[in-house]
Structure 1
Amino acid sequence: MKIFECGNCAHPLYFENASCEKCGHLAGFSITDLDIRTFQSANYPLSSDIGNQQFKYCKNHQYEVCNWLIPFENPDEFCLACSLNRMIPDLSDYENFEKWKKLESAKHRLVYQLLRLRLFIPTEGESGSLKFDFISKQGNDQIMTGHKNGLITILLSEADSVHREYMRKQMSEQYRTLIGHFRHEVGHFFWDQLIAPYENKLADYRKIFGDERADYGAALKNHYQNGPSPNWQQNYISSYAGSHPWEDWAETWAHYLHIMDMAETAFYFGMSVSPKLKDKSLQGSMPFDPYGKNEFQEIIEAWTPVSFAINSLNRSMGLPDVYPFVLSPNVVNKIKFIHQLVVSATTS
């Protein structure tokens, strides 16, 4: 994610900041220019320090879970990200409320990234709209995190770090985070948007990922009963990706978003690495905004040395790697396919 700053005093701001910690100006995120706007007072309408535009906060600002802005003349109460909610938990329950805050933070970051990719996000009333349910099992084991016809369900328990770590070990996963869930499940949604309606894209997809018409239930049952195929690392980003072509797509899509977000962050921080090694292969920098690149090869070559350095810093603190994955040539080709698909969909 890019770095934001206060429009009044230029103090650095996080994406979630609703005020500047240095000068006290109010702050809010505007989807018009994908940037933070600042305001001197809380009087409505909010008058931006830059330009003559006037705004109001999303209704969820009252819960301190959203700092997104809406043009004052717009009758909508909720911002784009919050308007995607179909169901949220009972907020009178403190534990539910705290988990919902974490879910909203991850979802807002997801929506920001989709906007940066210039992907169309159909909302309620539009064909193939995207919606979210944030719920608990409530004794019903049939309720699971997943996607169906544009509805993404995220279990509240995934916002519990202890439970999430337990599930990560139970499922033998290298990585399990809230943003990871969001990116994976929205991958299923965009398969429906970018692949399914187009015969030519379906044909290309099947050459790379396999035939999604294979029995999904049987494929998952085989995966959980017999484990991944031998040498799965050569063809898949995770063992779960090898269970079925749909899951391969969603897992690869999630990693595409992981890499793009990390690369954008590295670019805005001006990150470069020059290791004290005779081998110069780990020297590199992120000198460009990845969202402006048409060729993914340039992105992966610039990002790889930076990601290695970040993993090494984490190991210095006894923490797991930030990106604990090895990208085989076959996986890189899959990510390239996704990148070209996104680029063509947003430039045509």
Structure 2
Amino acid sequence: MTDDGLERHGDDSYDATSRIVDPGGDADERRVEAALRPRRLAEFPGQPRVSDQLALVLEAARRRGAPPDHVLLSGPPGLGKTSLAMIIAAELEQPIRITSGPAIQHAGDLAAILSSLAEGEVLFLDEIHRMARPAEEMLYLAMEDFRVDVVVGKGPGATAIPLELPPFTVVGATTRAGLLPAPLRDRFGFTGHLDYYTAEDLSAILTRNADLLGVDATRQGIDEIAGRSRGTPRIANRLLRRVRDYAQVHGKGVVDHAAARAALELFDVDARGLDRLDRGVLEALCKRFGGGPVGLSTLAVAVGEEPDTVETVAEPYLVREGYMIRTPRGRAAAPGAWEHLGLTPPDGPGTSATPLPFDEGEGRFAL
């Protein structure tokens, strides 16, 4: 059994159907998770393009009476890829099996999962780009021909036994679609890319979630949280719970504008949604390295984090919001970084005051 009471299989996957069919329960965490996850496409906020496309794919499959094409969902963390996978299973009225790429390190791990799937079942592979190569090659055949070859024995005496599989649907999720090999990517009949949410969409999500959680909130308080949530529902929901805690302990139990501002300042989330790591990166760029460019590894050491953490957690938002520039020589502070920190940018080539010129003809930055 998992921590939230779900049945775990021997292959380390687990059946999440109970999350959709019967999300009730006494545990507070399970209640919160069930309340915050939409259960149908009509309830899924934001991402209208992906929702409309996915609705068409699922409705056509229902009318044919056959499983839909395999679905690949890509985009930054926290935008609803797991929720959409569960929604797909709910819309198809089929069970869902959940596992992840890092958990499948051998072809045998994947064969054990595939051989236990029922007809029409949905297999959700989170972080699919991190699956081991032998398992990827087995998945090619399973997705296209619904068959796997189980190798028995070793060496010259090894025998491949073909195993027929019932039709099923793979839903893959990835934060780095570019790392997927082309043969695997091409086997997905539908690819949906999830983008960051607008503040208006996040306000709608938070309003709904506050009602479901029984949180008394004002419009001003909701808007304040939405504006600091970096366009990400997962962050918005987390901040809503922290502001609720603050309002219950230090306020009047109401998530209003004053409670939201005070709570978010306490948790080091500023008015633009930057947290401790984000500001640490910008301060290192501007104060220690004069605006850069500076290599990623050096920047990571300066803030006491791993390079992967800086690159995958802080950098996407900083680049998107115009605080950081990625150049061939490293990371550099954009004018917005100096302004946000209240600093004056230095003059000189290669600094954020004079960004490296981009040669359109050559398609690269001039060095």
Output the TM-score relative to the length of structure 1: 0.24
Which structure is richer in relative contact order (CA contacts within 8 A, separation 6 or more)? Answer: 2
Structure of higher CA gyration radius: 2
